[in-house]
Amino acid sequence: MSSREEILHQRTTAYGVRLRPETVTAWSFLLPTLLLLLVLAVYPLGYAFFLSMTDAQVSGPAHFVGLQNFVRLLRTAIFTLTLSNTIWYTLGAVAAKLVLGLVLALVLAQRAPGMRWIRGAVLIPWVVPTSLAMLAWTWMFDSTYSVINWVLMHLGAIAEPIAWLGTPRLARLAVVLVNVWSGLPFFGINFLAGLVTIPQELYEAGTVDGAGPIVRFRHITLPLLRPVLATVLLFSVVMTSSDFATVFVLTKGGPQNTTQILATLAFKLGLATGDLGNAAAISLYLFPILAISTYVQVRLMRRVWQW
Amino acid sequence: MVRSSRRRVAIAYLTAAPFVIFAVFPFIWMLVASLKQDVELYDLAQNPFLVRAGITWEHYHFLFTHTAFPLWLRNSTVVAATTTVVSVVLAVLAAYALARLRFPLAEATTTFVFIVYLVPTTLLFLPLARLMALFHLSNTLWSLIVTYPAFMVPFATWMLTAYFTTIPRDVEESALVDGCTRAGALRHVVLPLARPGIITAALFGFTLAYSEFIYSLTFISTTDLKTVTTGVVVDLIRGDFFYWGSLMGGALVASLPVVVLFSLFLDHYVAGLTAGAVRG
């Protein structure tokens, strides 16, 4: 007994003496990563803020203009349309993914032979590069050859082919639908992971107390799933609002900018017209969403980890 | 008993079916389009679900002989493989320090890595494009090899930090008591135990890099230097004419590497997807 205590004691003192070398080791392990992130993430972000406060073009000198770009953008019709598109796109897609994701998780939590492969199949839209999958959707929404139109016409639901990506309201619906398609697996699988951690005894106790499936879902599943719900939701808000590939491939922001979102407008302005100052300002309108979401996530994380 | 369990299985399949069809249908549709002859593909009188005129390989033949598609596949693979190796090495070191070592500012550093991991690439592509021009890396594969780790490392570090904390300290500490250095303990004790986590981080890194779109679109303009995501999307569409057969074939073949990895390492992907949110 005493020898074990002695070893333990030695180890703690050893730890105390080693403290300074440990700090050196830690920083040397972290140095490459920190350098990389400073040069290729922190610096560019700062540079984006700088650009957004200038009238920089691709070539030629840049002048400091303060917050002028941000203010003038708010008076530009295309920008305000883009901003409201981005908000509706994010709200619509995230809400749909949340509801369908919960349903999907409950479906995948059932036990049946081959369920592992069903889960795999449902995850495929997440694995495949979004931009490539969007080509299939472009083809499925094609104004002439759309398979969706063919089915709807043969079911008698529509008489004429619909121009999905050429009609403002339908194009908006289409980009949200496709975003839901590619983002749903992430929601479903994370909710499923949350579901399986809920102790089965709680449900049994609920059943004994006479709670039906809906009551059990509302009073057992939802409250215990809340941490997972919060993380997934916050993460998805950031990713959906900053989405680019879905809209870029499917509609390029059209028709008449009705599906234009911040990232696609920034790309258009920055690369097609070379107006770097305004392009940077447009993309930085994403920053508040990012900042709030990050702040809340970091706080949640600390609570979970009990730092 | 047997009947109720059979019913339960039937319900499971029936409820899962709409989700599976929704998820998989676009890929089936790509396959169908890529194998149909043009006369049938563009014939509105035909039932699009049937292949009556027989399948053809002409779209794939066109793709591999008349376009830069093979080059794009190679570029994507080279970039994704290189950046995965670099990112995993950097992330293992960083994650080990964050998970195991005690040093001032450890908590702040962890938070910093997490925050960087949340910054979307759509916020950084413009300034990075200028930075790449400054380094004379624009329009080279190096521009991608240099920038991809900036979004891969934070994610991999995040995932590996969580994984390392699940490995018991005791084994490693006895190695340290036996006179092993930190680097030695990491290499000989922690790394073998952390293999599943490292494989997951590598698979995710590869998938993220292979799928990347906006950097590749912004930094690379020469057709032969494009990656498969931008090559297929931008360069296979010429003017208003869409080669739908080849386009669908290209998108399908280009998706295959990650789908194959995914089916081989399904459990790793599920573990990674739930360990740290990547995109949604």
How is chain B split among helix, strand and coil, in percent rounded to 5?
75, 0, 20
Q: B79 and B198: one domain?
A: yes
Residue A220 zone, left/alpha/beta (φ > 0; ψ -120 to 50; rest): alpha
Q: B86 and B173: one domain?
A: yes
Q: What is the CA radius of gyration of chain A?
A: 26
Please indicate if any CB of chain B lies within 8 Å of the CB of A53.
no
- Is residue B168 assigned to a domain? yes
Nearest by CB to B280, from A30, A236, A248: name it.
A236
Share of chain A above pLDDT 90, in %: 59
- Return the minimum-mean-pLDDT range out of A134-138, A184-188, A192-196: A192-196
Distance set, CA A123 to CA A101, A104, A132, A177, A186 (Å): 12, 11, 16, 16, 8
Best CA proximity match to B123, nearest among A127, A241, A68? A241
Nearest by CB to B274, from A121, A190, A267: name it.
A190
CA atoms of A79 and A69, how far apart (whole Å): 11
Greater confidence (A196 vs A286) lies with A286
Q: CB under 8 Å to B105, separation ≥6 — which residues?
A: none
Best CA proximity match to A182, nearest among A237, A246, A118, A136? A246
Contact B183 A25 (CB under 8 A): yes
Q: B18 and B157: one domain?
A: no
- Is residue B280 assigned to a domain? no
CA atoms of A162 and B108, how far apart (whole Å): 54
Contact B278 A122 (CB under 8 A): no
Cβ neighbours of A29 in B, within 8 Å: 93-94, 96-97, 101
- Return the minimum-mean-pLDDT range out of A81-95, B18-32, B176-190, B206-220: B176-190
Please indicate if any CB of chain A lies within 8 Å of the CB of B199.
no
Contact A242 B122 (CB under 8 A): yes
Greater confidence (B76 vs B180) lies with B76
Res B276: pLDDT = 54
Q: B1 and B117: one domain?
A: no
The model's pLDDT over B58-98, given as tens digits with 9 standing for 90+, comes to 899 999 998 899 999 999 999 999 999 999 999 999 999 99
- Is residue B29 assigned to a domain? yes
The model's pLDDT over A217-268, given as tens digits with 9 standing for 90+, comes to 888 888 888 888 988 999 899 999 999 999 999 999 989 999 999 999 999 9
Q: B66 and B195: one domain?
A: yes
Q: Which CATH architecture has domain A72-305?
A: Orthogonal Bundle (1.10)
The model's pLDDT over B237-259, given as tens digits with 9 standing for 90+, comes to 765 566 888 999 999 999 999 99
Domain boundaries, chain A: 1-52, 72-305
Choose one of B17, B35, B56: the last residue of a domain: B56
Cβ neighbours of A44 in B, within 8 Å: 124, 127-128, 131
Q: B151 and B270: one domain?
A: yes
Q: B199 and B256: one domain?
A: yes
Q: Which residue in A has a C-alpha nearest to residue B34's C-alpha? A: A136
Nearest by CB to A140, from B29, B94, B147: name it.
B29
Confidence of residue B142 (pLDDT cuts 50, 70, 90): very high
Mutate: best of B63, B79, B89, B119, partner A, most A CBs <10 A: B119
Q: CB under 8 Å to A185, separation ≥6 — which residues?
A: A122, A123, A124, A125, A126, B23, B273
Which residues partner with B6 through β-bridges? none
Cβ neighbours of A133 in B, within 8 Å: 26-27, 251, 255
Question: Can you give the CATH number for the domain in which B231 is found?
Answer: 1.10.3720.10
- Is residue B216 assigned to a domain? yes
Please indicate if any CB of chain A lies within 8 Å of the CB of B9.
yes
Give the domain range for residue B108. 57-275
Q: How many helices, marked H, and strands, marked E, lie in chain B?
A: 16, 2
Q: Are B140 and B134 in contact (CB under 8 A)?
A: no
Cβ neighbours of B30 in A, within 8 Å: 135-136, 139
Q: B43 and B119: one domain?
A: no
Best CA proximity match to B127, nearest among A61, A270, A289? A270
Confidence of residue B125 (pLDDT cuts 50, 70, 90): very high
Nearest by CB to A120, from B27, B97, B263: name it.
B263
Q: CB under 8 Å to A265, separation ≥6 — which residues?
A: A78, A79, A82, A253, A257, A282
- Is residue B233 assigned to a domain? yes
- Give how far A134 is from chain B: nearest CA, Å: 9
Share of chain B above pLDDT 70, in %: 95
Q: Which two tokens stand for residue B243?
A: 């080669």
Whether the bond between A255 and the residue before it is cis, its omega within 30 degrees of 0, is yes
Q: Which two tokens stand for residue A68?
A: 């002028």
Average pLDDT, chain A: 88
Contact A290 B106 (CB under 8 A): no
Q: Is B41 helix (H, G, I), strand (E, B) or coil?
A: helix
Res B278: pLDDT = 40
The model's pLDDT over A81-90, given as tens digits with 9 standing for 90+, comes to 999 999 999 9
CA atoms of A133 and A250, how far apart (whole Å): 10
- Is residue B3 assigned to a domain? yes
Q: B44 and B135: one domain?
A: no
Q: CB under 8 Å to A267, separation ≥6 — which residues?
A: A244, A248, A279, B122, B125, B214, B217, B218
pLDDT exceeds cutoff 60 at A271:
yes
Q: ipTM, 2 decimals?
A: 0.90
Q: B170 and B122: one domain?
A: yes
Please indicate if any CB of chain B lies within 8 Å of the CB of A17.
no
Distance set, CA A180 to CA A43, A177, B210, B228, B277 (Å): 33, 5, 21, 24, 16
- Domain count for chain B: 2
Cβ neighbours of A51 in B, within 8 Å: 126-127, 130
- Return the minimum-mean-pLDDT range out of A70-79, A116-125, A144-153: A144-153
Best CA proximity match to A195, nearest among A101, A89, A296? A101
Q: B23 and B99: one domain?
A: no
Residue identified by tokens 């925050």 is B115
Q: B73 and B93: one domain?
A: yes
Mutate: best of A22, A36, A225, partner B, most B CBs <10 A: A36
CA atoms of B191 and B78, how far apart (whole Å): 25
Q: Which two tokens stand for residue B227?
A: 């990656």
Average pLDDT over residues B154-160: 92
